[in-house]
Structure 1
Amino acid sequence: MHKDLHEANRLSWNAATRAHNSHKGDQALFFRNGGSTLFPEEQGLLGEVQGLKVLHLQCNSGQDSLSIARLGADLTGVDISDEAITFARELATGSGIAAHFERADVFDYLGSAAVPDRSFDLVFSSYGTICWLSDLTAWAQGIARVLKPGGRFVFVEFHPYAMVFDEQWRMHYDYFNSAPLAQDGVSDYVAESGDGLALGVYQAGEQDFANPHPSHEFTWGLGQVITALSQSGLAIARLDEYPYANGWKGFDDMQDSGGRRMVPPAGMPRIPLMYSIVAHKQ
Protein backbone atom coordinates (compact mmCIF):
# COMPACT_ATOMS: atom_id res chain seq x y z
CA MET A 1 0.00 0.00 0.00
CA HIS A 2 1.36 3.41 -1.03
CA LYS A 3 0.13 5.68 1.77
CA ASP A 4 2.64 8.37 0.74
CA LEU A 5 1.02 8.54 -2.70
CA HIS A 6 -2.44 8.63 -1.12
CA GLU A 7 -1.33 11.72 0.80
CA ALA A 8 -0.06 13.35 -2.39
CA ASN A 9 -3.41 12.60 -4.01
CA ARG A 10 -5.23 14.19 -1.07
CA LEU A 11 -3.48 17.49 -1.76
CA SER A 12 -4.20 17.23 -5.47
CA TRP A 13 -7.89 16.52 -4.82
CA ASN A 14 -8.16 19.44 -2.41
CA ALA A 15 -7.05 21.80 -5.17
CA ALA A 16 -9.18 20.22 -7.89
CA THR A 17 -12.34 20.02 -5.79
CA ARG A 18 -12.48 23.78 -5.44
CA ALA A 19 -12.30 24.15 -9.21
CA HIS A 20 -14.92 21.44 -9.80
CA ASN A 21 -17.50 23.00 -7.51
CA SER A 22 -16.96 26.46 -9.00
CA HIS A 23 -18.78 25.25 -12.15
CA LYS A 24 -21.90 23.86 -10.47
CA GLY A 25 -23.73 26.97 -9.31
CA ASP A 26 -25.94 26.97 -6.21
CA GLN A 27 -25.88 23.28 -5.37
CA ALA A 28 -27.87 23.61 -2.16
CA LEU A 29 -30.68 25.23 -4.16
CA PHE A 30 -30.44 22.42 -6.71
CA PHE A 31 -31.14 19.88 -3.97
CA ARG A 32 -33.78 21.97 -2.22
CA ASN A 33 -35.61 22.05 -5.55
CA GLY A 34 -35.64 18.24 -5.61
CA GLY A 35 -32.55 17.65 -7.77
CA SER A 36 -30.61 14.39 -7.86
CA THR A 37 -27.21 13.59 -9.36
CA LEU A 38 -27.88 9.85 -9.71
CA PHE A 39 -28.03 8.46 -13.23
CA PRO A 40 -30.62 5.77 -14.07
CA GLU A 41 -27.93 3.08 -13.86
CA GLU A 42 -27.13 3.86 -10.23
CA GLN A 43 -30.78 4.17 -9.31
CA GLY A 44 -31.56 0.79 -10.81
CA LEU A 45 -28.58 -0.96 -9.22
CA LEU A 46 -29.16 0.57 -5.79
CA GLY A 47 -32.84 -0.30 -5.74
CA GLU A 48 -34.89 0.47 -2.65
CA VAL A 49 -32.69 2.09 0.01
CA GLN A 50 -35.36 3.36 2.41
CA GLY A 51 -34.25 2.56 5.94
CA LEU A 52 -30.92 1.02 4.88
CA LYS A 53 -27.59 1.92 6.42
CA VAL A 54 -25.45 2.94 3.43
CA LEU A 55 -21.72 3.63 3.20
CA HIS A 56 -20.59 5.75 0.24
CA LEU A 57 -16.85 5.28 -0.29
CA GLN A 58 -14.85 8.04 -2.00
CA CYS A 59 -17.93 10.22 -1.94
CA ASN A 60 -16.18 13.35 -3.22
CA SER A 61 -18.25 16.46 -2.37
CA GLY A 62 -21.31 14.48 -1.39
CA GLN A 63 -23.70 15.15 -4.27
CA ASP A 64 -24.45 11.47 -4.93
CA SER A 65 -24.45 10.82 -1.19
CA LEU A 66 -27.20 13.36 -0.62
CA SER A 67 -29.13 12.01 -3.61
CA ILE A 68 -29.11 8.58 -1.93
CA ALA A 69 -29.90 10.00 1.52
CA ARG A 70 -32.92 11.78 0.08
CA LEU A 71 -34.30 8.36 -0.88
CA GLY A 72 -34.45 7.43 2.80
CA ALA A 73 -31.03 5.93 3.46
CA ASP A 74 -29.01 6.42 6.65
CA LEU A 75 -25.98 7.63 4.71
CA THR A 76 -22.31 7.87 5.69
CA GLY A 77 -19.94 9.36 3.10
CA VAL A 78 -16.15 8.99 3.29
CA ASP A 79 -13.49 10.75 1.25
CA ILE A 80 -9.78 11.50 1.59
CA SER A 81 -10.12 15.15 0.55
CA ASP A 82 -10.54 17.73 3.31
CA GLU A 83 -12.01 20.17 0.81
CA ALA A 84 -14.55 17.64 -0.43
CA ILE A 85 -15.78 16.65 3.02
CA THR A 86 -16.03 20.27 4.19
CA PHE A 87 -18.10 21.05 1.11
CA ALA A 88 -20.27 17.94 1.60
CA ARG A 89 -21.09 18.88 5.18
CA GLU A 90 -21.99 22.42 4.15
CA LEU A 91 -24.09 21.10 1.28
CA ALA A 92 -25.98 18.76 3.61
CA THR A 93 -26.78 21.69 5.90
CA GLY A 94 -27.71 24.01 3.05
CA SER A 95 -29.92 21.45 1.31
CA GLY A 96 -31.63 20.20 4.47
CA ILE A 97 -30.76 16.57 3.68
CA ALA A 98 -29.40 14.60 6.63
CA ALA A 99 -26.15 12.68 6.04
CA HIS A 100 -22.92 12.02 7.91
CA PHE A 101 -19.51 12.69 6.33
CA GLU A 102 -16.05 11.61 7.49
CA ARG A 103 -12.64 12.66 6.16
CA ALA A 104 -10.39 9.61 5.93
CA ASP A 105 -8.26 7.52 3.65
CA VAL A 106 -10.63 4.76 2.54
CA PHE A 107 -8.28 2.06 3.86
CA ASP A 108 -8.06 3.69 7.28
CA TYR A 109 -11.82 4.04 7.45
CA LEU A 110 -12.53 0.46 6.42
CA GLY A 111 -10.11 -0.78 9.04
CA SER A 112 -11.56 1.32 11.87
CA ALA A 113 -15.19 0.80 10.85
CA ALA A 114 -15.12 -3.00 11.01
CA VAL A 115 -16.93 -3.23 14.34
CA PRO A 116 -20.51 -4.46 14.96
CA ASP A 117 -22.13 -1.04 15.49
CA ARG A 118 -20.64 0.31 12.27
CA SER A 119 -21.73 -2.34 9.77
CA PHE A 120 -23.75 -1.48 6.68
CA ASP A 121 -26.56 -2.90 4.58
CA LEU A 122 -25.07 -1.45 1.40
CA VAL A 123 -21.71 -0.08 0.29
CA PHE A 124 -21.63 2.12 -2.82
CA SER A 125 -18.79 3.55 -4.92
CA SER A 126 -18.83 5.11 -8.36
CA TYR A 127 -16.95 6.83 -11.18
CA GLY A 128 -13.24 7.47 -11.06
CA THR A 129 -12.62 5.85 -7.69
CA ILE A 130 -10.66 2.67 -8.21
CA CYS A 131 -7.69 4.35 -9.90
CA TRP A 132 -6.83 5.99 -6.55
CA LEU A 133 -6.58 2.67 -4.69
CA SER A 134 -3.11 1.23 -4.25
CA ASP A 135 -4.22 -2.12 -2.75
CA LEU A 136 -7.21 -3.79 -4.35
CA THR A 137 -7.18 -6.78 -2.01
CA ALA A 138 -7.32 -4.59 1.12
CA TRP A 139 -10.14 -2.56 -0.46
CA ALA A 140 -12.26 -5.63 -1.25
CA GLN A 141 -11.62 -7.24 2.13
CA GLY A 142 -12.50 -4.00 3.90
CA ILE A 143 -15.82 -3.78 2.05
CA ALA A 144 -16.62 -7.39 2.97
CA ARG A 145 -15.84 -6.70 6.64
CA VAL A 146 -18.15 -3.69 6.97
CA LEU A 147 -21.08 -5.29 5.16
CA LYS A 148 -23.74 -7.05 7.18
CA PRO A 149 -24.48 -10.68 6.19
CA GLY A 150 -26.56 -10.49 3.03
CA GLY A 151 -25.46 -6.89 2.44
CA ARG A 152 -24.72 -5.56 -1.04
CA PHE A 153 -21.84 -3.79 -2.73
CA VAL A 154 -22.84 -1.62 -5.72
CA PHE A 155 -20.02 -0.36 -7.91
CA VAL A 156 -20.10 1.75 -11.09
CA GLU A 157 -16.81 2.67 -12.74
CA PHE A 158 -15.25 3.77 -16.00
CA HIS A 159 -14.09 0.75 -17.98
CA PRO A 160 -10.38 -0.08 -17.80
CA TYR A 161 -10.31 -0.84 -21.51
CA ALA A 162 -11.20 2.79 -22.28
CA MET A 163 -8.27 3.91 -20.14
CA VAL A 164 -5.73 2.60 -22.67
CA PHE A 165 -6.53 5.62 -24.89
CA ASP A 166 -5.21 9.14 -24.62
CA GLU A 167 -7.55 12.10 -25.09
CA GLN A 168 -7.24 11.83 -28.89
CA TRP A 169 -8.42 8.18 -28.90
CA ARG A 170 -4.92 6.90 -29.60
CA MET A 171 -3.81 3.75 -27.78
CA HIS A 172 -1.23 5.01 -25.32
CA TYR A 173 -1.42 3.34 -21.90
CA ASP A 174 -0.85 -0.30 -20.96
CA TYR A 175 -3.93 -2.21 -19.85
CA PHE A 176 -1.65 -4.36 -17.67
CA ASN A 177 0.42 -2.02 -15.53
CA SER A 178 1.58 -2.78 -11.99
CA ALA A 179 3.41 0.51 -11.36
CA PRO A 180 1.73 3.77 -10.18
CA LEU A 181 1.27 6.34 -12.93
CA ALA A 182 2.52 9.83 -12.07
CA GLN A 183 0.22 12.56 -13.40
CA ASP A 184 0.27 16.36 -13.48
CA GLY A 185 -2.54 16.42 -10.93
CA VAL A 186 -6.29 15.88 -10.77
CA SER A 187 -7.71 17.84 -13.69
CA ASP A 188 -10.73 20.09 -13.86
CA TYR A 189 -12.72 17.36 -15.56
CA VAL A 190 -15.96 19.19 -14.73
CA ALA A 191 -14.89 22.07 -16.98
CA GLU A 192 -13.77 19.58 -19.63
CA SER A 193 -17.18 17.88 -19.56
CA GLY A 194 -19.25 21.07 -19.51
CA ASP A 195 -22.97 20.39 -19.12
CA GLY A 196 -22.22 16.69 -18.72
CA LEU A 197 -21.26 17.05 -15.05
CA ALA A 198 -22.82 20.38 -14.14
CA LEU A 199 -25.82 20.54 -11.83
CA GLY A 200 -28.23 22.24 -14.18
CA VAL A 201 -26.57 25.00 -16.19
CA TYR A 202 -22.77 24.92 -16.40
CA GLN A 203 -21.06 27.88 -14.71
CA ALA A 204 -17.78 29.32 -16.01
CA GLY A 205 -16.24 29.34 -12.53
CA GLU A 206 -12.48 28.95 -12.25
CA GLN A 207 -10.74 29.29 -15.59
CA ASP A 208 -7.61 27.54 -16.91
CA PHE A 209 -7.14 25.48 -13.77
CA ALA A 210 -3.63 24.06 -13.32
CA ASN A 211 -3.23 21.76 -10.35
CA PRO A 212 -0.11 22.63 -8.31
CA HIS A 213 -0.03 19.14 -6.76
CA PRO A 214 0.88 16.04 -8.82
CA SER A 215 -1.22 12.91 -8.47
CA HIS A 216 -0.63 9.17 -8.76
CA GLU A 217 -3.01 6.62 -10.27
CA PHE A 218 -3.18 2.84 -10.19
CA THR A 219 -4.28 0.56 -13.01
CA TRP A 220 -6.70 -2.28 -12.30
CA GLY A 221 -8.12 -4.60 -14.96
CA LEU A 222 -11.62 -5.98 -14.86
CA GLY A 223 -10.37 -9.45 -13.93
CA GLN A 224 -8.41 -8.07 -10.98
CA VAL A 225 -11.48 -6.29 -9.64
CA ILE A 226 -13.72 -9.34 -9.92
CA THR A 227 -11.09 -11.62 -8.39
CA ALA A 228 -10.43 -9.30 -5.44
CA LEU A 229 -14.12 -9.02 -4.62
CA SER A 230 -14.87 -12.74 -5.00
CA GLN A 231 -11.83 -13.80 -2.95
CA SER A 232 -12.94 -11.44 -0.16
CA GLY A 233 -16.11 -13.49 0.30
CA LEU A 234 -18.46 -11.46 -1.90
CA ALA A 235 -20.64 -13.26 -4.43
CA ILE A 236 -20.83 -11.47 -7.78
CA ALA A 237 -24.50 -11.19 -8.72
CA ARG A 238 -24.05 -9.25 -11.94
CA LEU A 239 -21.48 -7.53 -14.13
CA ASP A 240 -22.68 -5.11 -16.79
CA GLU A 241 -20.75 -3.13 -19.42
CA TYR A 242 -21.96 0.04 -21.14
CA PRO A 243 -21.01 1.65 -24.49
CA TYR A 244 -21.22 5.15 -22.99
CA ALA A 245 -19.83 7.19 -20.09
CA ASN A 246 -22.29 8.98 -17.85
CA GLY A 247 -21.55 12.70 -17.80
CA TRP A 248 -17.82 12.50 -18.47
CA LYS A 249 -16.33 13.72 -21.76
CA GLY A 250 -12.90 12.23 -21.27
CA PHE A 251 -11.96 12.04 -24.95
CA ASP A 252 -12.10 14.33 -27.97
CA ASP A 253 -15.40 14.94 -29.75
CA MET A 254 -17.56 12.83 -27.46
CA GLN A 255 -21.26 13.31 -28.12
CA ASP A 256 -24.28 13.31 -25.83
CA SER A 257 -26.48 10.45 -27.04
CA GLY A 258 -29.26 11.51 -24.68
CA GLY A 259 -29.52 11.70 -20.92
CA ARG A 260 -25.87 12.87 -20.68
CA ARG A 261 -24.66 9.49 -21.91
CA MET A 262 -21.43 10.37 -23.68
CA VAL A 263 -20.36 8.27 -26.66
CA PRO A 264 -17.41 8.31 -29.11
CA PRO A 265 -17.66 10.45 -32.25
CA ALA A 266 -19.60 9.10 -35.23
CA GLY A 267 -17.77 6.44 -37.18
CA MET A 268 -15.94 4.89 -34.23
CA PRO A 269 -16.86 1.36 -33.19
CA ARG A 270 -18.68 0.99 -29.91
CA ILE A 271 -16.41 0.05 -27.00
CA PRO A 272 -17.10 -0.42 -23.28
CA LEU A 273 -16.75 2.94 -21.54
CA MET A 274 -18.04 1.97 -18.11
CA TYR A 275 -19.10 -1.08 -16.13
CA SER A 276 -21.03 -1.97 -12.99
CA ILE A 277 -20.87 -4.73 -10.41
CA VAL A 278 -23.37 -5.88 -7.80
CA ALA A 279 -22.01 -8.28 -5.18
CA HIS A 280 -23.51 -9.80 -2.04
CA LYS A 281 -21.90 -10.78 1.24
CA GLN A 282 -22.48 -14.49 1.70
Structure 2
Amino acid sequence: MIQDNELTGPAEPTATRRTADDTESSRASRGWWDRNADEYQTEHGGFLGDDRFVWGPEGLDEAEARLLGPARALRGRDVLEIGAGAAQCSRWLAAQGARPVALDLSHRQLQHALRIGSDFPLVEADAGALPFADASFDLACSAYGAVPFVADPVRVMREVHRVLRPGGRWVFSVTHPIRWAFPDEPGPEGLSVAASYFDRTPYVEQDENGRAVYVEHHRTLGDRVRDVVAAGFRLVDLVEPEWPHWNHQEWGGWSPLRGNLIPGTAIFVCER
Protein backbone atom coordinates (compact mmCIF):
# COMPACT_ATOMS: atom_id res chain seq x y z
CA MET A 1 0.00 0.00 0.00
CA ILE A 2 1.25 3.47 -0.86
CA GLN A 3 1.54 5.62 2.24
CA ASP A 4 0.46 9.27 2.22
CA ASN A 5 3.99 10.51 2.76
CA GLU A 6 5.14 8.64 -0.35
CA LEU A 7 2.87 10.92 -2.38
CA THR A 8 3.43 14.18 -0.50
CA GLY A 9 7.06 13.78 0.56
CA PRO A 10 8.44 14.09 4.07
CA ALA A 11 6.33 15.98 6.57
CA GLU A 12 7.41 19.48 7.47
CA PRO A 13 9.24 19.67 10.82
CA THR A 14 7.13 20.72 13.78
CA ALA A 15 8.28 23.44 16.16
CA THR A 16 8.28 22.90 19.90
CA ARG A 17 10.10 23.88 23.08
CA ARG A 18 11.89 21.00 24.79
CA THR A 19 15.26 20.00 26.16
CA ALA A 20 18.06 19.08 23.74
CA ASP A 21 21.51 18.02 24.92
CA ASP A 22 24.90 18.70 23.34
CA THR A 23 24.87 15.59 21.17
CA GLU A 24 21.38 16.13 19.78
CA SER A 25 22.00 19.85 19.23
CA SER A 26 25.28 19.24 17.39
CA ARG A 27 23.78 16.54 15.17
CA ALA A 28 20.78 18.74 14.34
CA SER A 29 22.97 21.75 13.52
CA ARG A 30 25.28 19.80 11.24
CA GLY A 31 22.35 18.26 9.38
CA TRP A 32 20.37 21.50 9.08
CA TRP A 33 23.28 23.53 7.72
CA ASP A 34 24.34 20.78 5.33
CA ARG A 35 20.79 20.62 3.95
CA ASN A 36 20.17 24.37 3.86
CA ALA A 37 23.57 25.86 3.02
CA ASP A 38 22.75 26.27 -0.69
CA GLU A 39 19.47 28.08 -0.01
CA TYR A 40 21.07 30.20 2.72
CA GLN A 41 23.90 31.39 0.49
CA THR A 42 21.49 32.09 -2.38
CA GLU A 43 19.14 34.08 -0.15
CA HIS A 44 21.68 35.97 1.96
CA GLY A 45 24.88 35.85 -0.07
CA GLY A 46 24.21 39.21 -1.71
CA PHE A 47 23.86 40.93 1.68
CA LEU A 48 26.84 39.15 3.21
CA GLY A 49 29.04 39.62 0.15
CA ASP A 50 32.04 37.43 -0.58
CA ASP A 51 34.50 39.29 1.61
CA ARG A 52 32.60 41.47 4.08
CA PHE A 53 32.65 41.04 7.84
CA VAL A 54 29.03 41.62 8.92
CA TRP A 55 28.08 41.03 12.55
CA GLY A 56 24.35 40.46 11.97
CA PRO A 57 21.19 41.28 10.02
CA GLU A 58 21.45 44.96 10.96
CA GLY A 59 24.50 45.14 8.71
CA LEU A 60 27.05 46.36 11.26
CA ASP A 61 30.38 46.01 9.46
CA GLU A 62 33.64 45.22 11.24
CA ALA A 63 35.40 47.72 8.97
CA GLU A 64 33.46 50.42 10.82
CA ALA A 65 32.85 48.80 14.21
CA ARG A 66 36.48 47.73 14.81
CA LEU A 67 35.44 45.37 17.60
CA LEU A 68 38.50 43.21 16.92
CA GLY A 69 40.68 46.32 16.90
CA PRO A 70 41.79 48.78 14.21
CA ALA A 71 42.11 47.16 10.78
CA ARG A 72 45.80 48.07 10.58
CA ALA A 73 46.41 46.14 13.84
CA LEU A 74 45.06 42.92 12.29
CA ARG A 75 48.07 42.48 10.01
CA GLY A 76 50.04 39.39 10.95
CA ARG A 77 47.55 38.30 13.62
CA ASP A 78 46.36 34.69 13.86
CA VAL A 79 42.55 34.75 13.90
CA LEU A 80 40.08 31.90 14.42
CA GLU A 81 36.58 32.32 12.96
CA ILE A 82 34.07 29.94 14.56
CA GLY A 83 30.90 29.03 12.65
CA ALA A 84 32.43 30.59 9.56
CA GLY A 85 29.87 29.41 7.01
CA ALA A 86 31.23 30.42 3.60
CA ALA A 87 34.08 32.26 5.37
CA GLN A 88 33.12 35.77 4.28
CA CYS A 89 34.49 37.24 7.52
CA SER A 90 37.75 35.30 7.23
CA ARG A 91 38.14 36.53 3.66
CA TRP A 92 37.84 40.13 4.89
CA LEU A 93 40.36 39.43 7.65
CA ALA A 94 42.82 37.98 5.14
CA ALA A 95 42.48 41.13 3.04
CA GLN A 96 43.61 43.14 6.07
CA GLY A 97 46.75 41.03 6.32
CA ALA A 98 45.56 38.72 9.10
CA ARG A 99 46.10 34.95 9.07
CA PRO A 100 42.58 33.54 9.53
CA VAL A 101 41.44 29.98 10.05
CA ALA A 102 37.75 29.38 9.20
CA LEU A 103 36.03 26.63 11.20
CA ASP A 104 32.52 25.29 10.70
CA LEU A 105 30.54 22.21 11.66
CA SER A 106 28.90 22.00 8.22
CA HIS A 107 30.74 20.36 5.35
CA ARG A 108 28.40 21.98 2.82
CA GLN A 109 28.99 25.47 4.18
CA LEU A 110 32.73 24.97 3.81
CA GLN A 111 32.19 23.80 0.25
CA HIS A 112 30.69 27.23 -0.41
CA ALA A 113 33.83 28.75 1.11
CA LEU A 114 35.87 26.76 -1.40
CA ARG A 115 33.56 27.80 -4.23
CA ILE A 116 34.07 31.49 -3.46
CA GLY A 117 37.78 30.90 -2.94
CA SER A 118 40.14 31.10 0.01
CA ASP A 119 43.87 31.10 0.58
CA PHE A 120 43.55 30.25 4.28
CA PRO A 121 42.75 26.99 6.12
CA LEU A 122 39.17 25.68 6.30
CA VAL A 123 38.50 23.31 9.19
CA GLU A 124 35.43 21.12 9.70
CA ALA A 125 35.04 20.64 13.45
CA ASP A 126 32.78 21.15 16.46
CA ALA A 127 33.26 24.42 18.37
CA GLY A 128 33.10 22.49 21.63
CA ALA A 129 36.26 20.52 20.75
CA LEU A 130 38.58 22.82 18.85
CA PRO A 131 41.36 20.86 17.09
CA PHE A 132 44.11 23.37 17.91
CA ALA A 133 46.94 23.58 20.40
CA ASP A 134 46.80 25.90 23.39
CA ALA A 135 47.62 29.56 22.68
CA SER A 136 47.39 29.18 18.87
CA PHE A 137 45.53 32.43 18.11
CA ASP A 138 45.65 36.14 18.85
CA LEU A 139 41.95 36.71 18.15
CA ALA A 140 38.75 34.70 17.82
CA CYS A 141 35.41 35.76 16.37
CA SER A 142 31.99 34.39 15.55
CA ALA A 143 29.16 36.19 13.76
CA TYR A 144 26.05 34.19 14.73
CA GLY A 145 28.11 31.01 14.56
CA ALA A 146 27.98 28.07 16.98
CA VAL A 147 27.14 29.90 20.23
CA PRO A 148 23.34 30.12 19.79
CA PHE A 149 23.14 26.47 18.75
CA VAL A 150 25.01 24.68 21.54
CA ALA A 151 23.57 23.31 24.77
CA ASP A 152 26.72 24.09 26.73
CA PRO A 153 28.08 27.49 25.66
CA VAL A 154 30.59 27.59 28.52
CA ARG A 155 32.30 24.55 26.98
CA VAL A 156 32.74 26.51 23.75
CA MET A 157 33.94 29.59 25.63
CA ARG A 158 36.52 27.56 27.54
CA GLU A 159 37.79 26.03 24.32
CA VAL A 160 38.16 29.50 22.81
CA HIS A 161 39.94 30.68 25.97
CA ARG A 162 42.32 27.71 25.71
CA VAL A 163 43.37 28.38 22.11
CA LEU A 164 43.80 32.14 22.60
CA ARG A 165 47.07 33.69 23.66
CA PRO A 166 47.18 35.87 26.81
CA GLY A 167 45.49 39.19 26.09
CA GLY A 168 43.63 37.70 23.12
CA ARG A 169 40.22 39.07 22.18
CA TRP A 170 37.07 36.98 21.64
CA VAL A 171 34.11 38.69 19.95
CA PHE A 172 30.85 36.92 19.15
CA SER A 173 27.34 37.91 18.11
CA VAL A 174 24.06 36.16 18.89
CA THR A 175 20.36 36.85 18.63
CA HIS A 176 19.61 39.46 21.27
CA PRO A 177 18.08 37.59 24.24
CA ILE A 178 15.08 39.95 24.44
CA ARG A 179 14.00 38.68 21.01
CA TRP A 180 13.02 35.35 22.59
CA ALA A 181 10.04 36.96 24.28
CA PHE A 182 8.58 38.01 20.91
CA PRO A 183 7.27 35.96 17.96
CA ASP A 184 9.84 35.47 15.21
CA GLU A 185 7.91 37.64 12.77
CA PRO A 186 9.15 40.78 10.97
CA GLY A 187 5.78 42.57 10.87
CA PRO A 188 3.44 44.10 13.47
CA GLU A 189 2.50 40.62 14.74
CA GLY A 190 6.07 40.34 16.02
CA LEU A 191 5.80 43.34 18.33
CA SER A 192 3.80 41.81 21.18
CA VAL A 193 5.37 39.73 23.94
CA ALA A 194 4.32 36.10 23.46
CA ALA A 195 6.56 34.13 25.83
CA SER A 196 8.54 34.51 29.00
CA TYR A 197 11.99 36.02 28.55
CA PHE A 198 13.09 33.79 31.43
CA ASP A 199 12.05 30.52 29.77
CA ARG A 200 15.34 28.90 28.76
CA THR A 201 13.71 25.88 27.12
CA PRO A 202 15.37 25.36 23.72
CA TYR A 203 13.50 25.96 20.48
CA VAL A 204 13.43 22.68 18.56
CA GLU A 205 12.16 21.70 15.13
CA GLN A 206 11.66 17.94 14.93
CA ASP A 207 10.63 15.41 12.32
CA GLU A 208 7.68 13.00 12.51
CA ASN A 209 9.78 10.64 14.63
CA GLY A 210 10.57 13.30 17.22
CA ARG A 211 14.18 13.63 16.00
CA ALA A 212 15.52 17.18 16.24
CA VAL A 213 16.47 18.71 12.88
CA TYR A 214 17.10 22.23 14.18
CA VAL A 215 17.92 23.43 17.69
CA GLU A 216 18.51 26.91 19.07
CA HIS A 217 19.24 27.62 22.72
CA HIS A 218 18.04 30.67 24.64
CA ARG A 219 20.14 32.37 27.29
CA THR A 220 19.21 35.60 29.04
CA LEU A 221 21.56 38.56 28.83
CA GLY A 222 22.75 37.79 32.35
CA ASP A 223 23.34 34.15 31.41
CA ARG A 224 25.55 35.20 28.51
CA VAL A 225 27.62 37.46 30.76
CA ARG A 226 28.01 34.67 33.34
CA ASP A 227 29.04 32.23 30.59
CA VAL A 228 31.78 34.58 29.46
CA VAL A 229 33.06 35.08 33.01
CA ALA A 230 32.85 31.36 33.84
CA ALA A 231 35.18 30.63 30.92
CA GLY A 232 37.80 33.02 32.29
CA PHE A 233 37.14 36.03 30.03
CA ARG A 234 36.69 39.66 30.93
CA LEU A 235 33.74 41.36 29.24
CA VAL A 236 34.91 44.72 27.93
CA ASP A 237 31.90 45.74 25.83
CA LEU A 238 28.38 44.70 24.93
CA VAL A 239 27.23 46.14 21.61
CA GLU A 240 23.54 46.31 20.63
CA PRO A 241 23.50 47.58 17.02
CA GLU A 242 20.74 49.96 16.06
CA TRP A 243 18.94 49.36 12.79
CA PRO A 244 20.52 51.65 10.15
CA HIS A 245 18.39 53.84 7.90
CA TRP A 246 19.89 52.33 4.72
CA ASN A 247 18.91 48.73 5.53
CA HIS A 248 15.45 48.00 4.11
CA GLN A 249 15.63 44.22 3.98
CA GLU A 250 13.89 41.64 6.15
CA TRP A 251 15.85 38.61 7.36
CA GLY A 252 13.61 36.12 9.12
CA GLY A 253 12.24 37.98 12.13
CA TRP A 254 14.66 40.88 11.68
CA SER A 255 13.21 43.90 9.93
CA PRO A 256 13.37 47.71 9.88
CA LEU A 257 10.06 47.84 11.78
CA ARG A 258 11.27 45.71 14.67
CA GLY A 259 14.86 46.88 14.48
CA ASN A 260 13.81 50.47 15.17
CA LEU A 261 11.99 49.38 18.33
CA ILE A 262 13.88 46.47 19.92
CA PRO A 263 17.43 45.17 19.59
CA GLY A 264 17.93 42.13 17.37
CA THR A 265 21.62 41.36 17.93
CA ALA A 266 23.96 41.33 20.93
CA ILE A 267 27.73 41.40 20.37
CA PHE A 268 30.01 40.44 23.26
CA VAL A 269 33.55 41.78 23.24
CA CYS A 270 35.75 39.75 25.60
CA GLU A 271 39.43 39.57 26.49
CA ARG A 272 41.46 36.69 27.84
1:3 maps to 2:20: no
1:180 to 199, 202, 211: 202
Q: Which ranges of structure 2 fall in alignment gaps of 5 or more residues? A: 1-20
CA 1:98 to 1:236, structure 2 compared with 1: closer, same or farther past 3 Å?
same
**Is the Cα–Cα contact under 8 Å of residues 14 and 81 in structure 1 kept in the other structure?**
yes
1:63 to 82, 88, 103: 88
1:36 maps to 2:24: no
**Is the Cα–Cα contact under 8 Å of residues 130 and 220 in structure 1 kept in the other structure?**
no
Kindly state the Cα deviation for residue 177 of structure 1 after the two structures are TM-superposed: 3.0
CA 1:57 to 1:66, structure 2 compared with 1: closer, same or farther past 3 Å?
same
Render the CA deviation track for 1:142-171: whole Å, top value 9, x for unaligned.
111111001101122321102321113132
| CA distance in structure 2 between the partners assigned to 1:74 and 1:163 by the alignment | 36
| CA distance in structure 1 between the partners assigned to 2:222 and 2:96 by the alignment | 33
1:277 maps to 2:268: yes
Moved >3 Å (runs of 4+) = 23-27, 37-41, 245-248
| CA distance in structure 2 between the partners assigned to 1:24 and 1:161 by the alignment | 24
Kindly state the Cα deviation for residue 216 of structure 1 after the two structures are TM-superposed: 1.4
| CA distance in structure 2 between the partners assigned to 1:54 and 1:180 by the alignment | 30
Question: What residue is the counterpart of 2:132 in the other structure?
Answer: 113
Q: Secondary structure at the match of 1:138?
A: helix
| CA distance in structure 1 between the partners assigned to 2:241 and 2:52 by the alignment | 21
CA 1:63 to 1:128, structure 2 compared with 1: closer, same or farther past 3 Å?
same
CA 1:218 to 1:271, structure 2 compared with 1: closer, same or farther past 3 Å?
same
| CA distance in structure 2 between the partners assigned to 1:148 and 1:69 by the alignment | 19
1:220 maps to 2:242: no
CA 1:128 to 1:104, structure 2 compared with 1: closer, same or farther past 3 Å?
closer
Render the CA deviation track for 1:205-263: whole Å, top value 9, x for unaligned.
xxxxxxx98211111111111111112221111112233388653338x33xxxxxxx4
TM-score normalised by length of structure 2: 0.75
2:175 to 151, 158, 179: 158
Q: CA RMSD in A?
A: 2.8
| Number of equivalences | 231
Listed as ranges, the matches of 1:248-267 within 5 Å are 249-251=251-253, 254-255=255-256, 263-264=257-258
CA 1:248 to 1:90, structure 2 compared with 1: closer, same or farther past 3 Å?
same
TM-score normalised by length of structure 1: 0.72
Render the CA deviation track for 1:16-41: whole Å, top value 9, x for unaligned.
111122346799xx65xxx5343554
Kindly state the Cα deviation for residue 129 of structure 1 after the two structures are TM-superposed: 4.1
**Is the Cα–Cα contact under 8 Å of residues 12 and 213 in structure 1 kept in the other structure?**
no
**Is the Cα–Cα contact under 8 Å of residues 11 and 213 in structure 1 kept in the other structure?**
no
Percent identical pairs in the alignment equals: 25
**Is the Cα–Cα contact under 8 Å of residues 243 and 270 in structure 1 kept in the other structure?**
no
Listed as ranges, the matches of 1:65-104 within 5 Å are 65-92=90-117, 97-104=118-125
2:163 to 138, 142, 146: 146
Question: What residue is the counterpart of 1:195 in the other structure?
Answer: none
CA 1:103 to 1:220, structure 2 compared with 1: closer, same or farther past 3 Å?
same
**Is the Cα–Cα contact under 8 Å of residues 81 and 90 in structure 2 kept in the other structure?**
yes
**Is the Cα–Cα contact under 8 Å of residues 53 and 62 in structure 2 kept in the other structure?**
no
Render the CA deviation track for 1:16-69: whole Å, top value 9, x for unaligned.
111122346799xx65xxx53435542321223111100000111211221222
Kindly state the Cα deviation for residue 127 of structure 1 after the two structures are TM-superposed: 2.6
1:123 maps to 2:140: yes
**Is the Cα–Cα contact under 8 Å of residues 183 and 217 in structure 1 kept in the other structure?**
no
